[in-house]
Structure 1
Amino acid sequence: MDDLITWINSNSSLGILLAIGVLSMLESLAFVGILVPGIAILATLSWFAGQQALSLPFMLLSGFIGAVIGDWLSYLLGRYASHWISTLPIIKRHPNWLTEGQRFFARYGGRSIFLGRFVGPIRAVIPFVAGSCAMPPQRFLVFNLLSAACWAPVSLLPAYWLGQQAEELQMTWNIWLQLIALLMFVAVLFQAAHHQLEPGNWLYRYLHPFAEHPHRQLRTRLFATSMLATLLACIGVRLYWALPSWEHSTFERMQSLPEHLLPTITLSTLPGDGLFLALGSLSTALLLWFYRHRSAALCFAGTVAATMAINTLLKLLFDWPRPAIGQQLYESASFPSGHAAGAAALLAGWAVLMAHKYEARTKRRIYLATFALIAPVALSRVLLGVHWPLDVVAGSTVGLFFAALLRWQMDQEGNYTQPTAFRYWLGAGIVLLSLGYALWRLPSAISFYAG
């Protein structure tokens, strides 16, 4: 570790970014990742990158590219050199490396590329196994891009964030523990309720009079009802208590983050930008239209459009003032948050398309992963000082309500089926659109929110 610190201190910022890329590649490279403690070294490098205030987008891009290259090389080795590699002495001494990877791949198929990226030693074996099993390269590439895009922030951001201003974070640890606990509670509650609504479980049996007709879609109806009830509760608070003391206190406590976190927070808010919503909904609708799902294409575009229309109408009705910073940056009203509403509708709409026709367990995983993407968008609006906490809660419920209506409409169409290629193209399109938009928009967005 002392040698690593000396090396970092004597080299440029470019050296740190290159080292992150190389180690990300080695962490994913066939069998090498098992032997190299890549995660520990990457965490150290990310901490130094945060301490030296290196560019966050470039750090994430470096990790992303390295991870993609590592998996792709492993795939090529498995496809063209699996027989030779399996005869190597180190592989013969550890046959469980391949057997566990083959078992994991046989169980999850293409999804194992994504899931394996986050599972210890399996990470360095699954791409090799996929290549040896002659998985189509186009299909592998889509999973490779998706998994790397999710892996890079998860693996690099925490250490980078801590390295920026660790001493200043001590002032705000309490509010963050509370927020994390709240988000975990919501996720666990959704997981438990979704599971209990499967046939045979007690909640399903209790609600059997409503569930005996399949077209009633119990889960979707309950979720939409809960979102509508939450929105009405937020409206009730605004009408009768205006700005409660607890909401004002929470807002103030969330404003004491270090300025170094502005790029990260700004990056989190970009999925709610109007242009991103337009590009995302239009491109998805065109893809659905190309696959002859014209009704679904119109419904998807209508989901985002209706969300923003209702959100705008509520803004005009309540005309609730933004916090001081928000009034300097925006002329529109505060309640509800348009960014939170739009991002929730678009991201949840994508999740509905991805999860359609899958079994309940897979759907839960997709929905929970989407929740982990929607929550930062909502939180970023409060952290940037442009919305009150209740604004983002109300906005998110509006978007999720219309996403539930999209799910209901798709289930109503019994003949709606998705070819496997649709999900691959949709996933790849989401990743490329998100990366391209972030690289293009982030610098100007940082300047905008910095005031």
Structure 2
Amino acid sequence: MEASLNQLLSWIGTNPAWAYLIVFLVSFAESVAVIGVVVPGVMILFGAGALIASGELAFWPTASLAIVGAISGDSLSFWIGNRYRDQIRAHWPFSRHPKPLDRGIVFFEKHGAMSVAFGRFVGPGRAIIPMVAGMMQMPRTRFAAANISSAIAWGPAYLAPGIVFGASLKLAAEAATHLAILIIILLSLLWAAAWLARRLFFLLSPHASHGVQTLLRWSNLHPVFGRTAQALADPDHPDAATLTALALALVAAVALLGMSLSADLFGAQEMRINQFALDLGQSLHTPLADQLMAGLSRLGEPVVTIPLVIAILVYLSLSGQQRALEYWLAALAFTLLVTPTLGWLVRIPRPELGLDLRWPWSFPSGQVLSATVLYGFLALSVSRPLAPRWRWTPYALAAALITAVALARLYVGAAWLTDIIASIALGLIWIAALGLAFRRHTEPSEQVAGLVLVTLIAASAAFTAATLAQQPLDIARHQATRPLITLTATEWRTRQDLPIASHREDLWHRNQRPFDVQYAGPLNRLSQILAGQGWAPAEKLSWSNAIKLLSPSLTLAELPVVPHVHDGHHDDLILVKDLPDGRRLVLRLWGTHVQLNAGAPIWAGNITEVIKEKIVHLLALPITIPVDASGQGHWLTDLAQSPGMSIAMGAPTLLAPKELDLLPAK
């Protein structure tokens, strides 16, 4: 995918005339009556804006061609309307589909000459309005004035979202490509889960009554298994004992299946899809992503689910919904009993990442199973009194919440992908059976608004309190840990199989940012030593100073430095050196899991250069570029000249304060 994108950008860079021609033709075609309905002009102009941000296209030629194309297309539509007038209704597509034309006429009659300007942005069919203006004999001069003035505003306005998007991608690539990819994956899967829930609801809902009747007929033909079906589907049949037996049977079946699959035949860790999902989740770690995914995971953890459940049970009890209360207890009892029981029976270990988690088993995932049962049964309870066209909404929201919890557990590496999917399936089977009995044995409640309000208040309060109280703790618990390795000074100095990353971790494994510097010792000591050589702590990009990016007139030295991510962590130290010629060098170091036997921690990083890249004279982005080989050697030598620093040149260059007496001074 990335190779194809690079090839496209390379082709556009060498053939910009074709890209400009496409912008003109698309803007023209989108403004022509009928044709404009099928031309994806908005998306293409959005892409053109992104290419402007990437530097492949220039803003003013692109905007000018978009404006000229829009003016030309609207002029052609106006001429068609003025030339053929009432004959237009007799021709396809308006002969078969007259409503768009009728809406355009109503819009024009309501807004008059201003409809040409309004219609370009918000009208009921942008390409129809100029043709309607011609049909209604609008004076040419007034049309031309409205056409040209609105096009001048329209061109930049439609390019602007793409420019912002492209600039955001550049900034994301500078700071953390991993975070941008994670957000895209997360939003896509959440949308897919909600969409699938909606589709399944409309697919299965019309056949629900027929399915129940079939189940009742089947129960008459099978005396043994039919008792279970009758208890679930027949409102007059007792259901408590049957639901208990069904839950036990479900647990037994899952336990037997799980033990047979894990009985030294193959383990979850041996499945390629599990290892791929684990590696992908670990490769997407960034500090901001850790914050986000810790919050999503909390939606299925006891600190949120227990207060939410208590609030629901109290509300049902106070409102006199005793029967619904019993079903809620059945749903929750299943989760509380099944999670430890199946865990000890099946015994599928978690991925070996060193996470600080109390429960050692991957299946079932307690958070995912709890979320599936809790939010799934809540959707069943809430959806009953809703109008049929809105009844899918609780299911879509529940599907999104369950998916969010599942993705968060997969991201932190707390469970294998197959175990997460199996936990969701187990929960869905239970709430499907329980939900069938619930609907057949209880009457719809008219107090659903109260249940929704209680749920929102309790969930929001519990989530907020838990986030404020233990967000840092949760992030720490979900961090993969590696044992600390100790080296002798000789092993480090001779670079004998150093267990330290040689490149900044990259999602695509391109190794484009080699680590050419290693430092042993405290970071504050390094900052003190290098201060005499002109190196100073950097102002890091944050929410408080991000507004500086909107000031292209600022010098490079005045812009904040964008933190980078390696191995899921931001740089532990960023030092900058501003040169007399306006250039800026950046020294970045990250912690490693290696130390010297003298107790000095080892840090790895590199020296790069930052340039200021302007985008349409509206944004200024500090973009990192590698330092050429000759310059690299020069600045490494510059470090060696710092008083109090010992250095060993090579690949990588090794630094340490002289007081450690580890390396000979140069």
- Identify the TM-score tier after normalising by the shorter chain: 0.5 to 0.7
Match of 2:439 in 1: 411
1:352 and 1:431 mapped to 2: Cα distance? 20
The verdict on how the C-alpha distance between 1:263 and 1:173 changes in structure 2, with shifts beyond 3 A counting, is closer
Which residue of 349, 365, 374 maps to 1:321? 349
Aligned to 2:467: 438
1:249 alignment partner in structure 2: 276
Q: Which moved more, 1:180-189 or 1:250-259?
A: 180-189
Task: Map 1:243-322 onto structure 2 (within 5 A).
Answer: 243=268, 244-260=271-287, 261-322=289-350
- In 2, the alpha carbon distance for the partners of 1:248 and 1:388 equals 8
Gaps of 5+ in 1: 1-92, 95-119, 121-157, 218-223
Cα deviation 1:387-426 (Å, max 9, x = unaligned)? 1111211222233333334423431334352324343333
**CA separation in 1, counterparts of 2:437 and 2:210?**
25
Give the alignment partner of residue 418 of structure 2, picking from 379, 384, 390: 390
TM-superposed deviation, 1:384: 0.8
Work out whether residues 284 and 426 of structure 1, in 8 Å CA contact, stay in contact via their aligned partners in 2.
yes
CA-CA distance at 1:364 after TM superposition: 1.1
CA contact (8 A) 2:311 2:455 kept: no
CA contact (8 A) 1:288 1:294 kept: yes
Q: Which residue is equivalent to 1:426?
A: 455
Q: Quick one: distance in 1 between partners of 2:213 and 2:437?
A: 22
Distance in 1 (alpha carbons) for counterparts of 2:440 and 2:209: 21
How many Å separate the matches in 1 of 2:212 and 2:314?
Answer: 39
**Amino acid corresponding to residue 428 of structure 1 in structure 2:** I
Pairing 1:343-362 to 2, within 5 Å after superposition: 343-362=371-390
Q: Deviations over 1:267-289 (max 9, x none)?
A: 11112222332222122111100
Tell me by how many angstroms 1:372 deviates: 0.9
Deviation at 1:344, TM superposition (A): 1.7
In structure 2, C-alpha distance between the alignment counterparts of 1:178 and 1:379, rounded to whole Å: 10
**Cα–Cα, structure 1 residues 417 and 204, in superposed 2: closer, same or farther, change >3 Å?**
closer
Alpha carbons of structure 1 residues 234 and 262: separation in structure 2 relative to 1, 3 Å: farther
Q: Rg: which structure is higher?
A: 2
Q: Which has the higher helix share?
A: 1
Q: Shift in Å at residue 175 of structure 1?
A: 8.7
Change in CA separation of 1:269 and 1:421 when aligned onto 2, cut-off 3 Å? closer
CA offsets 1:328-357 (integer angstroms, 9 cap, x no match): 533521112111111222222322222122
Q: CA deviation at 1:439?
A: 2.6
- What is the identity, as a one-letter code, of the residue corresponding to 1:403? I
- Per mean C-alpha deviation after superposition, the further-off stretch among 279-288 and 392-401 is 392-401
- 1:269-322 CA-to-partner distances (Å, cap 9, x unmatched) read 112222332222122111100101123223213312311311211111111111
Q: Distance in 2 between matches of 1:207 and 1:297?
A: 24
The question of whether the paired residues in 2 share the 8 Å contact of 1:234 and 1:394 is answered with no
Letter in 2 for 1:356: R
Verify: 1:400 aligned to 2:428, yes or no: yes
Query: One-letter code of the match for 2:367?
Result: H
2:370 is the alignment partner of 1:342: yes
Report the alpha carbon displacement of residue 383 of structure 1 after superposing the two structures with TM.
Answer: 0.9
What is the CA-CA distance between 1:262 and the residue it aligns to? 0.8
Aligned to 2:126: none
Compute the displacement of 1:360 (Å): 3.6
Q: For residues 338 and 278 of structure 1, do their structure 2 counterparts lie closer, same or farther at Cα, with a shift above 3 Å needed?
A: same
Counterpart CA distance in 2 for 1:430 and 1:163 is 37
Q: TM-score if structure 2 supplies the norm length? A: 0.37
Q: Provide the residue aligned with 1:197 in structure 2.
A: 204
1-structure distance, mates of 2:319, 2:286: 46
* Larger RCO: 1 or 2 (CA < 8 Å, sep 6+): 1
The answer on whether the counterparts of 1:266 and 1:445 sit within 8 Å (CA) in structure 2 is yes
- The Cα of 1:375 is off from its aligned counterpart by 0.7
* Per-residue deviation, 1:172: 8.7
TM-aligned CA distance change 1:432 to 1:211, over 3 Å: farther
Q: How far off its partner does 1:205 sit?
A: 7.0
Paired residues of 2:281 and 2:412 also in contact (CA < 8 A): no
Report the identity percentage.
19
How far the C-alpha of 1:198 sits from its partner, in A, is 3.6
Instruction: Give distance in 2, aligned partners of 1:319 and 1:437.
Output: 30
CA contact (8 A) 1:281 1:301 kept: no
Q: Shift of residue 358 of structure 1?
A: 2.1
Q: Classify 1:242/1:289 alpha carbon distance in 2 versus 1 (closer, same or farther; 3 Å).
A: same
Q: Whose strand proportion is higher, 1 or 2?
A: 2
Does the C-alpha gap of structure 1 residues 364 and 207 become closer, same or farther in structure 2, counting only changes over 3 Å?
A: same
Amino acid at match of 2:201: H
Equivalent in the alignment of 2:476: 447
Instruction: Pick which of 175-184 and 263-272 moved more.
Output: 175-184
Q: Distance in 2 between matches of 1:193 and 1:327?
A: 37
Counterpart amino acid of residue 312 in structure 2: T
Cα gap change, 1:434 to 1:352, in 2 (>3 Å): farther
Equivalent residue number for residue 29 of structure 2: none
CA distance in 2, matches of 1:290, 1:206: 35
- Gap change, CA 1:354 and 1:378, over 3 Å in 2: same
Cα pair distance change 1:165/1:301, threshold 3 Å: farther
Give the structure 2 partner of residue 54 of structure 1.
none
Determine whether 1:366 maps to 2:387.
no
Kept in 2, the 8 Å contact 1:280–1:346? The answer is: no
CA distance in 2 between partners of 1:400 and 1:162 (Å): 38
The change in CA–CA distance for 1:304 and 1:162 in structure 2 (over 3 A counts) is farther
The one-letter amino acid paired with 1:387 is: A
Amino acid at match of 1:256: S
Q: Counterparts of 1:225-240 in structure 2 under 5 Å?
A: 235=258, 238=262
Contact 2:348-2:362 at 8 Å conserved across structures:
yes
